[in-house]
Amino acid sequence: MMIDIDRPMLAARGNAESLRKRGILRVVLTRFLAYLEKRETRWSLRELTEDELRDIGMTPAEARNEINKSWFWD
């Protein structure tokens, strides 16, 4: 049995509350994906050498500052 998750359920059509919930879920998912991207980028910065940091225009101090940023607020 296949379920098409992109097709809206018939019972949910015209239901404003359901649309609102989908909007909230989309916002939460978007923010979570942004968090994951920042985490991955900051993790990559940890592994760069001083020469590689210089190539991208960063000093080791700037890289440390970025790595140490709060995962929640920044």
**pLDDT (tens digit per residue) in 13-37:** 556 666 677 788 898 999 899 989 9
User: Which residues touch 46 (CB under 8 Å, ≥6 apart)?
Assistant: 63, 67
- Report d(CA 18, CA 16) in Å as an integer: 5
- Enumerate the domain spans of the chain: 39-74
- Residue among 47, 69, 73, 72 nearest 60 (CA): 47
- Residue 59 near residue 34, CB atoms below 8 Å: no
- Residue 1 pLDDT class (50, 70, 90 cuts): very low
pTM of the model: 0.55
Quote the DSSP letter at residue 12. Answer: G
